[in-house]
Amino acid sequence: MGETVSVNARPRHVSYGFRTSLWNAVGVSVQRAPHSDVPVCVLGLGLIGGSILRALGRAGRPAYGWNRSAAAVDDADAAGFDASSDLVATLRRADRDGHVIVVAVPVPALDGVLAAVAEHAPNAWLTDAVSVKGAVARRVAATGLTGRYAGGHPMAGTAFSGWEATDATLFDGATWVVTADDETPVEAWRLAATVGLDCGAVIVPAGSVEHDAAVARISHSVHVVAEAVAITAELDPAAKQLALSLAASSFRDVTRVAGTAPSLVNAMCEANAEALLDALDDTIAELIAARAELAEKGTVGEITERGYAARRRYENARRTPFVPVLDGAGWQRALREAGHAGGVITTLD
pLDDT tens digits, 250-307: 999 999 999 998 998 999 999 999 999 999 999 999 999 999 999 999 999 999 999 9
Which residues are registered as beta bridge partners of 176?
Answer: 154, 203
Residue 3 within any structural domain of the chain = no
Residue 349 within any structural domain of the chain = no
Residue 238 identity: A
Task: Please compute the mean of the pLDDT values over residues 56-61 and round it to a whole number.
Answer: 96
- 27 and 165 in a single domain? The answer is yes
pLDDT exceeds cutoff 50 at 217:
yes
- 252 and 330 in a single domain? The answer is no
Residue 83 is part of a domain; what is its CATH number? 3.40.50.720
- 297 and 246 in a single domain? The answer is yes
Residue 141 within any structural domain of the chain = yes
- 150 and 171 in a single domain? The answer is yes
- 298 and 328 in a single domain? The answer is no
Confidence of residue 33 (pLDDT cuts 50, 70, 90): low
User: Any idea what DSSP says for residue 317?
Assistant: -
pLDDT tens digits, 106-139: 999 999 999 999 999 999 999 999 999 999 999 9
Residue 244 is part of a domain; what is its CATH number? 1.10.3660.10
Q: What is the count of structural domains for the chain?
A: 2
- 221 and 334 in a single domain? The answer is no
- 190 and 277 in a single domain? The answer is no
- 129 and 193 in a single domain? The answer is yes
- 219 and 180 in a single domain? The answer is no
Confidence of residue 151 (pLDDT cuts 50, 70, 90): very high
Residue 216 domain boundaries: 212-314
The interaxial angle of helices 273-297 and 262-271, nearest 10 deg, is 100
For the entire predicted model, the pTM comes to 0.86
pLDDT tens digits, 73-86: 999 999 999 999 99
- 193 and 242 in a single domain? The answer is no
